[in-house]
Amino acid sequence: MSRLLIVFLSVMLSSVVAQADHHIPNLGEKATEFKDEGKEAHKRDGMSHAASLILQRKMHPELLSHKRDKTLRQGVRGGVVQLSKCVECHTSVDKDGEFIPVNAPDQFCSTCHKKVGTSLDCFSCHRTTPAEEM
């Protein structure tokens, strides 16, 4: 009986550890600053900030692919949804002050994409660091 209890307790403990592993990804240089200043990134009208963030997290592929078609095929430029803006805020800087590619291991994009096992194809063509002049 006590053996069963030990097995049960260890299963409980491991599930708790697995939950605790659900950490916040490396937000990136500018995004972290933004958050520390208490600003609400990705906030939408008529929605709480938390709900907006969940929507952003879930819908970012749809938002981006909708915009990419509009930009490429219809020449619609500017606006909120731009991959270059994602990259601009969510890249980190290493010790030498150089930008780390946003798709490198443990960086903003790759953390979640690795976790959920979805491939990240944007950056086989798109630039992974903010543009030089920024």
Partner 1 sequence: MKELNRRDFIKTTTATTAGVATIASGITLTTYAALPKESNPVTNEKRWGMLIDTNKLTESNIDDMVNACQEEHGWGNETHSTGDQQAGWIKKIKVKDKATERISNLALMCQHCEEPPCVDVCPTNASMKREDGIVLVDKHLCIGCRYCMMACPYDARSFVHESLTNQKTHMPRGKGTVEACTMCVHKVDKGEAPACVASVSSDAVIFGDLYDPTSKINQTLKKVQSTQIRADLNLNTGVRYSGI
Answer yes or no whether residue 94 interacts with partner 1 by CB under 8 A. Answer: no
Specify the residue, 7 or 76, whose C-beta has the smaller distance to partner 1. 76
Q: From CA 81, how far away is CA 86, in angstroms rounded?
A: 8
List C-alpha distances in Å: 122 to 1, 89, 98: 54, 16, 21
List C-alpha distances in Å: 6 to 1, 13, 19, 45, 71: 9, 10, 20, 50, 59
Specify the residue, 6 or 51, whose C-beta has the smaller distance to partner 1. 51
Report the DSSP beta bridge partners of residue 92.
100
Residues 103-132 touching partner 1, rule: CB under 8 A, are 124-131
Specify the residue, 1 or 72, whose C-beta has the smaller distance to partner 1. 72
Q: Give the shortest CB-97-to-partner 1 separation in angstroms.
A: 17
Interface map 20-49 toward partner 1 (x if CB under 8 A): -----------------------xxxxx--
Nearest of 122, 130, 125 to residue 65 by alpha carbon: 122
Residue linked to tokens 């490396």: 26
Answer yes or no whether residue 74 interacts with partner 1 by CB under 8 A. Answer: yes
Q: Give the shortest CB-109-to-partner 1 separation in angstroms.
A: 15
For partner 1, the binding residues (CB under 8 A) are: 43-47, 55, 65, 68-70, 72-80, 84, 101, 124-131
